[in-house]
Chain A
Amino acid sequence: MLETELYKAATLTFEEMGFLLPTPEIGEQQLNAQVEAMVSVEFKGPFSGKLLVRVCGGLLPILAANMLGEENVPPISLQYDALGEIANVICGNILPCIAGSKELFCVSTPKMVESIDLPPVAEIQVGLGLGRADLLLFISSHPVLTE
């Protein structure tokens, strides 16, 4: 099931890179947490699509500081970069689970986005400390022509 694979890839990445302790249960505070940033990573291969990762509730600076092993909050550009790399790693880890290990994908550079334009094929929420991360996976129904 896509949600299960997405959750596994997300928890692995948040644990190993972000040194965060994920929980599937979302408390009220986490549910109502304010959105801080959203990043999109596009992929093209036997099918195309994108992964969106949205963080809420003060998670962004903590994630970046943890990844860099720093006490102080990194500048916002590095916070966005950190979130982008998290999305990149989750995306890279989930694609073989969906497509199999033989298929080749091109994964684009992460970019910050403001809105969601399509309904996702899979969506999960991960509780992380006082905040949460939402992951939305979009898959195009048409195969992409190889260049």
Chain B
Amino acid sequence: MPLNILVVDDSSVMRMIIIKTLRLSKLPLGEILEAANGQEALEMVDGKWIDLALVDINMPVMDGEEMINRLRENPATADLPILVISTEGSETRKERLIQKRVGFIHKPFTPETLRFAILRRLGGLDEQNAGD
């Protein structure tokens, strides 16, 4: 079944890197949606089925944490697999997000790390952190 994936990052280059990795990972890809901030992403997914969201934290308009809070408050996206891809180094924020059941990838990352983390998140395992 093709996977619809949402990629949210204010950097076009980072979105391109993530999307290239998705394509190289040999996942059965359906639609790939891109957004440059949390607000744009929420508007984009309204009424659409998404299988996975890859989300940056530091973004203008609406940051990734606020976006994730909104996704979790919505029954339609309460269980959406979410992977945070960020430079976020604060354990305080990470712990808050772990309560929201998200996975983490720290920038900079290798494409293999991202692939592994995506497969793990789609497989529904509990671990929150991915590494090389």
Point out residues on A near B: beta carbons under 8 Å. Answer: 12-13, 16-17, 64, 67-69, 77-78, 81-82, 84-85, 88-89, 91-93, 95-96, 101-110
- The A-contacting residues of B in range 51-66, CB under 8 angstroms, are 58-60, 63
Decide: B16 and A104 in contact? CB cutoff 8 A: no
Decide: B11 and A88 in contact? CB cutoff 8 A: yes
Nearest B residue to A104 by beta-carbon distance?
B90
* B75 located at the interface, meaning its Cβ lies under 8 Å from any Cβ of chain A in the complex: no
Nearest B residue to A43 by beta-carbon distance?
B58
Decide: B92 and A16 in contact? CB cutoff 8 A: no
Binds A, one of B25-33, B41-49, B81-89: B81-89
Decide: A102 and B91 in contact? CB cutoff 8 A: yes
* Shortest distance between the CB of A88 and any CB in chain B (Å): 6
Decide: B87 and A88 in contact? CB cutoff 8 A: yes
Decide: B92 and A82 in contact? CB cutoff 8 A: no
**In the complex, which of the residues A17, A81, A109 contacts B60, with contact meaning CB atoms closer than 8 Å?**
A109
Decide: A92 and B89 in contact? CB cutoff 8 A: yes
Decide: B11 and A68 in contact? CB cutoff 8 A: no
**In the complex, which of the residues A78, A93, A103 contacts B12, with contact meaning CB atoms closer than 8 Å?**
A78
Decide: A107 and B93 in contact? CB cutoff 8 A: no
Q: Give bound CA distance, A78 to B11, whole Å.
A: 9
Nearest B residue to A107 by beta-carbon distance?
B58
* Shortest distance between the CB of A133 and any CB in chain B (Å): 15
Q: What 1/0 mask marks residues of chain B from 19 to 37 whose CB sits below 8 Å from any chain A CB?
A: 0100000000000000000
**In the complex, which of the residues A67, A84, A85, A102 contacts B92, with contact meaning CB atoms closer than 8 Å?**
A102
Decide: B13 and A102 in contact? CB cutoff 8 A: no
Known A16-B110, A69-B20, A88-B58: A109·B10 in contact at CB below 8 Å: yes
Nearest A residue to B9 by beta-carbon distance?
A85
Decide: A67 and B90 in contact? CB cutoff 8 A: no
Decide: A89 and B87 in contact? CB cutoff 8 A: yes
* B122 located at the interface, meaning its Cβ lies under 8 Å from any Cβ of chain A in the complex: no
